[in-house]
Amino acid sequence: MAAVSIKAVHKHFGTTPVIRGVDIEIADGEFAVLVGPSGCGKSTLLRMIAGLEEIGEGEIVIGGKVVNNMQPKERDIAMVFQNYALYPHMKVRDNMAFSMLLAKRPKEEIEARVQKAADILGLGELLDRYPRQLSGGQRQRVAMGRCIVRDPQVFLFDEPLSNLDAKLRVAMRTELKELHQRLKTTSIYVTHDQIEAMTMADQIVVMRDGIVEQRGRPLDLYDHPANLFVAGFIGSPA
Ligand code: ADP
Ligand code: MG
């Protein structure tokens, strides 16, 4: 059974169709990358999976449950945004603990989970700092830590590295990939960067203008692009 199924999903904003019949299956433990030009509907699709945007038509299934009518917090997901969305007035440890405080988890459990996530991400020394006292890469790690502590079934990433400089972006890409190899959490990663997609994905989903042009393993798309758009976008010789 797929960890995430997106079935015949459509979405309009006003009268403008933005998602026009999307079907995607993501296997348990897979790292799927949604890639496509700016404005093609990647964030909208991710936000529907997260429950931040109503699903127009069709069905989204996470872990065997149809989530169309479930609130974001009822879905077993955690999302990392482009701008990290850390709380500036909270220390790193409280930023990481916040969702569990809301869920009224026992204090000892929260501390243990924050510590474990901090160890995994190398944030142990930084737990008592505020976000403004961190570098871009460290903030990115804290945003990731917030997701890890919740141990969700699915991680959602919306261009999490796009605010970092080029060198750090490459380093964080490797770090995220290693993290995925360690945790094996099913992940859906949105980017408009072809290189990020090719190097990180188990499955690439190439989107254009609200539809999926092709999806599959990076090398299969590279070797057998379905059309010129995919070939051009992935960078395979036409
Ligand atoms: P991407 O993430 O691929 O860049 P988006 O999903 O953000 O694309 O946007 C897809 C299209 O939907 C764009 O044309 C965008 O302008 C439009 N759009 C996104 N959000 C809204 C909204 N809340 N209201 C109206 N139009 C929107
Ligand atoms: Mg976007």
The pair of three-digit structure tokens given for residue 7, joined into one six-digit string = 């079935």
Question: Closest ligand 1 atom to the C-alpha of 41?
Answer: 6
Residue type, 56: G
d(C-alpha 23, C-alpha 134), whole Å: 39
CB atoms inside a 10 Å sphere around CB 64: 9
The residues near 108 (Cβ < 8 Å, ≥ 6 apart) are: none
What is the 59 CA–ligand 2 centroid distance (Å)? Answer: 21
Residue 15, burial from CB neighbour count under 10 angstroms (0-12, 13-18, 19+): exposed
Of 34, 38, 44, 194, the one to substitute when testing ligand 1's pocket (max ligand atoms within 8 A of C-beta) is 44
To the nearest 10°, report the CA torsion of 94, 99, 105, 111: -30
What is the 16 CA–ligand 1 centroid distance (Å)? Answer: 10
In this structure, the residue with its CA closest to atom 24 of ligand 1 is 13
Query: Ligand 1 in contact with 43 (CB < 6 A)?
Result: yes
What is the 18 CA–ligand 1 centroid distance (Å)? Answer: 7
- Using CA atoms, how far residue 40 sits from 112, 132, 183, in Å, is 41, 33, 30
pLDDT for res 84: 72
Query: Ligand 1 in contact with 191 (CB < 6 A)?
Result: no
What is the 196 CA–ligand 2 centroid distance (Å)? Answer: 15
What is the 180 CA–ligand 1 centroid distance (Å)? Answer: 28
Residue 114, burial from CB neighbour count under 10 angstroms (0-12, 13-18, 19+): buried
pLDDT for res 82: 75
ipTM at complex level:
0.98
d(C-alpha 174, C-alpha 214), whole Å: 25
Nearest residue to 19 (alpha-carbon basis) of 40, 33, 34, 38: 40
Query: Ligand 1 in contact with 87 (CB < 6 A)?
Result: no
Q: Identify the segments of the chain with pLDDT beneath 70.
A: 238
In this structure, the residue with its CA closest to atom 12 of ligand 1 is 18
Quote the pTM value: 0.93
Query: Ligand 1 in contact with 148 (CB < 6 A)?
Result: no
14 sits in the region (left: phi over 0; alpha: psi -120 to 50; else beta) called left
In this structure, the residue with its CA closest to atom 10 of ligand 1 is 41
Nearest residue to 114 (alpha-carbon basis) of 100, 104, 102: 100
What is the 44 CA–ligand 2 centroid distance (Å)? Answer: 7
